[in-house]
Structure formats: C-alpha cells, structure tokens
C-alpha cells in the first residue's frame, strides 16, 4: 500500500498492509492532527520532522493503535473519556483489553505491551466527545461516537474532502471484533449502522485494504453479516451441550487453529463469550454448570 492524499487528509499505511500489530494512521494538514500513531515508526519520525503536528488523537486505546505514541510524548493527546483509563495505567489496560486472563497470560501481555508496543502511561490533555466539531484552517472534523469495539471508540468525518475514518470497523472479511471486557455486540451493530449512513466519498480504515472509494452497500452488509454467521454457527454447535473448551476448539471465529495458540485462543474465547452472554439474555440457550445448550 502507498500513501495517498485526499485533500488535507494524508493516509499513512501501516507496515504489512496495516495488519495487526500495525495499523494505518492518518494525518490532517491544517489543524495538524495525527490519528492512531502505529503505522510505521520511521515514517512517523519523518512526519514529525516535516510537519507541524499539534495534537495526537486516538480512535480507541488498543495496543496496535498506540505503538508509536511514545514518539509524541510532548504533544497533547486526545481520546474519549471512556477509553482514557487504559491509556493512563497499564493495569487498567490489562483489565480492560482481554477477558479472564490467567496469571501467565497477563504477565505475557504486560511484557509485550512494554517491549513490543512501547507502552508508557499518558494522561490525555482533554477528552473527545461524540458530536464535537473542530473547525480550523479551513478543515472541519466531526467526532462520531461509535462504541462496541471499545466503549469509547470514535470515528472521524473530515467534511471538506468527504473522508470518514472508521478505525477498526475495518470492513474486512474477518468481520467486527468486540471481545474486550466492555465491548458490546449490540453497540457494534448500532455503530456500523450509524457509520454506513454518513455520506462519505472516501472511507479509511485501520487495517488491510484501508481505502474504500464510494463503497457499495453490499460491503457493509457483508461485514455486519459476519456477526450473525458466528451466532448461527454457535447455536448450531450448542444443539449438543458444550463447555467453553469445546466452544474454543470449534474455531467458530478464526476457522482453524492458528499460532501463536495462546493469542488466538484468547480472542476465540473473548468473542464467543460475548455471543454466549447475548444468547443467554435472549433466552436462546441455557447454562447449567459448565455446559451451554441451545433451548
């Protein structure tokens, strides 16, 4: 992927096509706003030297969106209030980011955060809120509250060029991710519905394809349909009583075993737990001891 400009918006592709643990960044000329500094460390260093970066904004707190935030320690940081706690304290980060980490998993992730993602606690200069509008140097940026992926997840609409940056609602075939402690399937569905109604000419995302020009409605349909396919596969699997280990081993989310096993098992468990909680609330399944079963 190559860098591309859309009016004042510079799309900076992440390494390895923006695949995790990298993400695509954007820089908005004029107001000098860098969003999600985790694309390419060397490129971001050059950007800092060449441009007058005034603020750093985050779509959300995840590690693959803050990897190179340490390069901008002296520049004001802006994030939603709901997502600020994990940014300010590594223990908060561990409590929020994954569900039910055992001691070994927690220790592994804390080490990875510090060594691989350059984690340093940061106190935001101020909080971004849904419906905030920044108008500066001929550029209008609307802040859109899009919870689900994280409780304080944000998207940004740059009005003049018609560019919408939707972060990890990335329109990939993998589908949405909603596996954090405070993630929500229902909020994810609502946020996707809100985003697809915005009259954007260009949609930019954090991972993989990254740039969608005049995306067709079918692309949004395909993305949100992944949620319902996961749910239906899980319901089918639960025609026979299953425990959590059985569900993880069914690989409903990732389709097959993947390495590193510990990483993907955490993700499988986290997403499936969200589906189990939702199905229980709808009374479509029962939970007796360790076993889940379709009613």
Q: How confident is the model at residue 102 (pLDDT cuts 50, 70, 90)?
A: confident
202-248, pLDDT tens digit by residue? 999 999 999 999 989 999 999 999 999 999 999 999 999 999 999 99
Give the tokens for residue 202: 């260009």
pTM of the model: 0.95
pLDDT at 100 over 80: no
Beta bridge partners of 26: 11, 35
- 226-294 fold: Arc Repressor Mutant, subunit A (1.10.10)
Distances (CA, A) of 223 to 21, 135, 139, 162, 172: 21, 32, 30, 22, 7
pLDDT at 97 over 90: no
Share of the chain above pLDDT 70, in %: 99
117-132, pLDDT tens digit by residue? 999 999 999 999 999 9
Q: How confident is the model at residue 96 (pLDDT cuts 50, 70, 90)?
A: confident
Q: What is the predicted pLDDT for the residue at 99?
A: 58
Q: What is the predicted pLDDT for the residue at 98?
A: 63
Q: What is the mean pLDDT of residues 139-160?
A: 98
Q: How many other β-carbons are positioned within 10 Å of the β-carbon of residue 108?
A: 16
Give the tokens for residue 172: 């990939």
3-state secondary structure of 226: helix
**Residues in Cβ contact with 174 at an 8 Å cutoff, skipping those fewer than 6 apart:** 226
19-43, pLDDT tens digit by residue? 999 999 999 999 999 999 999 999 9
Q: What is the predicted pLDDT for the residue at 101?
A: 75
Cβ pair 271, 178 in contact under 8 A: yes
Q: What is the mean pLDDT of residues 266-270?
A: 92
Q: What is the predicted pLDDT for the residue at 290?
A: 92
Positive or negative, the Cα torsion across 109, 111, 117, 121? positive
Q: What is the predicted pLDDT for the residue at 262?
A: 79
**Residues in Cβ contact with 111 at an 8 Å cutoff, skipping those fewer than 6 apart:** none
Would you kindly state where each structural domain of the chain is located, as residue ranges? 4-215, 226-294
pLDDT at 170 over 80: yes
Domain 4-215 shares a fold with domain 226-294: no
pLDDT at 155 over 70: yes
44-79, pLDDT tens digit by residue? 999 999 999 999 999 999 999 999 999 999 999 999
Look at domain 4-215 and name its CATH class: alpha beta
Give the tokens for residue 91: 């223990």
Q: What is the DSSP string of 55-103?
A: EEE-S---GGGSTTGGGGTTS-EEEESTTHHHHH-HHHHHHHHSSS--H
């Amino acid at each position: 992927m190559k860098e591309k400009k859309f009016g004042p918006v510079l799309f900076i592709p992440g390494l390895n096509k923006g695949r995790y643990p990298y993400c695509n960044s954007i820089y908005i000329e004029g107001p000098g706003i860098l969003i999600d500094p985790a694309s390419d460390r060397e490129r971001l260093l050059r950007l800092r030297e060449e441009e007058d970066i005034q603020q750093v904004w985050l779509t959300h707190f995840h590690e693959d969106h803050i990897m190179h935030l340490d390069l901008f320690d002296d520049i004001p940081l802006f994030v939603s209030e709901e997502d600020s706690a994990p940014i300010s304290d590594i223990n908060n980060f561990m409590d929020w980011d994954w569900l039910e980490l055992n001691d070994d998993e927690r220790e592994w992730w804390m080490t990875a955060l510090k060594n691989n993602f350059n984690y340093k606690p940061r106190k935001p200069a101020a909080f971004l809120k849904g419906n905030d509008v920044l108008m500066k140097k001929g550029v209008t940026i609307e802040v859109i509250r899009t919870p689900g992926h994280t409780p304080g997840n944000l998207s940004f609409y740059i009005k003049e060029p018609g560019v919408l940056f939707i972060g990890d609602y990335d329109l990939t075939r993998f589908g949405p991710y909603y596996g954090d402690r405070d993630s929500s399937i229902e909020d994810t569905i609502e946020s996707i519905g809100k985003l697809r109604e915005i009259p954007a000419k260009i949609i930019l995302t954090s991972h993989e394809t990254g740039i969608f020009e005049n995306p067709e409605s079918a692309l949004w349909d395909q993305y949100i349909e992944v949620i319902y396919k996961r749910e239906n596969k899980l319901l089918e699997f639960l025609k026979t009583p299953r425990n959590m280990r059985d569900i993880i081993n069914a690989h409903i989310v990732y389709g097959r075993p993947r390495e590193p096993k510990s990483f993907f098992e955490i993700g499988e468990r986290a997403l499936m737990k969200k589906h189990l909680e939702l199905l229980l609330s709808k009374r479509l399944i029962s939970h007796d001891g360790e076993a889940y079963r379709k009613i």
